Amino acid sequence: MSMPDHPRLIDLSADTATRPSEAMRLAICAAPVGDEQRGEDPTTLALEERVAALLGQEKALFLPSGTMANQIAFLVHCRPGDEIVCAENAHVFGSEGAGAAVLAGAQFRPIDTATGIFTVADVASRLRAPRHRSPHSRVIAIEQTTNRGGGRIWSEEAIGALKGLALEKGLALHMDGARLLNAAVVTGLPAARFAAPCDSVWIDLSKGLGCPVGAVLAGSAGFIEEALVWKHRLGGAMRQSGILAAAGLYALDHNVERLAEDHDNARRLASALATVPGLHVQPEGVVTNILFLDLAGTGVSASALAGVLAGEAIRVNVEGQNRIRMVTHLDVSADDVEVAGSAIIAALARLRPDQSGG
């Protein structure tokens, strides 16, 4: 097992770094299973019913990944030539291999927004007049919480306003809810308050919830009926998927309220780092489990800092020349965060060009 001179990795690179706990593994072992592709896996069906209710939607569909959930939603909502309005830093725009273009034949109309949040006016100004030569505006896609926007939360009011525009203009409102439950825990609001107005919405099981695999896509009965066709076409239909769904049910019982610890840890880390001169952290903007460090004012490159930290068994995500992303999750403790914070402060002090002359 772990050697004393090889400390356990503190992995702040993503909340996908979680490993299933012993208790989750026991739940997986005990799961009743059947053939999911024939609709006969009782644990998968139970998870789907549970998530549909959680999100205030009629039906839900268990999928291998969140990426597939986004792609299936676009395949159902769009025809080739349609356009999806989203944030410029959205996962759907930059991190899914241009899947909407490849699969649904749709293109994006991105909105430049640092936080990933945008307004009704932002969307309205990007909708196309119906003309034979124009792309057909079809979907508004939002991320709850905003991953590369720093884990920011879309308010119920902002979502309601977008829904109003969507209804008026005949658009679908899609929520990439990879971290929707983080938003629910912070605000104390039921997830359905954010999710019910959406025409399609999904949660990821393999991020902060700590499951090994899976996402659950929800919507109206009609939407899910079409989504099921695409799930099969894309090869997402499974067999005894109850062993995966059991982890999801376990996580919904045990790993939701504890997301508050991740948020506390992220805020604590941000506050500790905010004392470093030249380091831009914005602790007041750290509302969930994601924080960005802007190193431009320190003269230290993101890769240099990440390299030093890697040598101390601390992993962070390099997002650009001066930008590092860190994400807290259930395999990162309050102590880990303290260790990481001290290591970052020490590394920056050593690496700073203005310190080298002594």
Ligand X SMILES: *Cc1c(COP(=O)(O)O)cnc(C)c1O
Per-residue tokens: 280? 């831009």
Taking the least distance from each CB to ligand X, the nearer of 83 and 143 is 143
Taking the least distance from each CB to ligand X, the nearer of 40 and 88 is 88
Q: Does 178 bind ligand X (CB under 6 A)?
A: yes
| Radius of gyration from C-alpha coordinates of the chain | 21
Shortest Cβ distance from residue 176 to ligand X (Å)?
5
Stretch that binds ligand X, among 62-70, 164-172, 189-197, 231-239 (CB under 6 A): 62-70
Q: Does 262 bind ligand X (CB under 6 A)?
A: no
Taking the least distance from each CB to ligand X, the nearer of 201 and 308 is 201
Per-residue tokens: 8? 């356990």
Per-residue tokens: 339? 């260790």
Q: Does 91 bind ligand X (CB under 6 A)?
A: yes
Single out the residue of 310, 314, 274 nearest to residue 291, CA to CA.
274
Q: Does 66 bind ligand X (CB under 6 A)?
A: yes
Q: Does 65 bind ligand X (CB under 6 A)?
A: yes
HSE on the CB side for 281, CA within 13 Å? 24
Q: Does 89 bind ligand X (CB under 6 A)?
A: no
3-state secondary structure of 156: helix
> Between residue 146 and residue 165, which ones bind ligand X under the rule CB under 6 A?
147
Taking the least distance from each CB to ligand X, the nearer of 97 and 190 is 97
Residue of closest CB approach to ligand X: 66
Binding map of ligand X across residues 195-224, x = CB under 6 A, - = no contact: ---------x-xx-------x---------
Crossing angle of the two packed helices 22-30 and 242-254, in degrees rounded to 10: 130
Shortest Cβ distance from residue 279 to ligand X (Å)?
24
Taking the least distance from each CB to ligand X, the nearer of 117 and 308 is 117
Shortest Cβ distance from residue 8 to ligand X (Å)?
24
Q: Does 176 bind ligand X (CB under 6 A)?
A: yes
The pairing of strands 59-63 and 215-219 is antiparallel
Taking the least distance from each CB to ligand X, the nearer of 90 and 172 is 90
- Site size with ligand X, rule: CB under 6 A: 12
CA distances from 115 to 68, 90, 203, 300, 323 (A): 24, 10, 20, 24, 15
Taking the least distance from each CB to ligand X, the nearer of 187 and 301 is 187
Shortest Cβ distance from residue 116 to ligand X (Å)?
9
Per-residue tokens: 168? 């008026």
Q: Does 67 bind ligand X (CB under 6 A)?
A: yes
Burial of 45: CB neighbours in 10 Å, binned 0-12, 13-18, 19+: middle
Torsion of the alpha carbons at 179, 185, 189 and 195, rounded to the nearest 10: 10
Taking the least distance from each CB to ligand X, the nearer of 163 and 174 is 174
Per-residue tokens: 353? 């060009």
3-state secondary structure of 160: helix
Q: Does 317 bind ligand X (CB under 6 A)?
A: no
End-to-end CA separation in angstroms for the chain: 41
With beta carbons less than 8 A apart as the criterion, state whether 244 and 214 touch: yes
Options 143, 199, 262, 336; binder of ligand X; rule CB under 6 A? 143
Give the whole-angstrom CA distance, residue 184 versus residue 286.
15
Shortest Cβ distance from residue 94 to ligand X (Å)?
10
Binding site for ligand X (CB under 6 A): 65-67, 91, 143, 147, 176, 178, 204, 206-207, 215
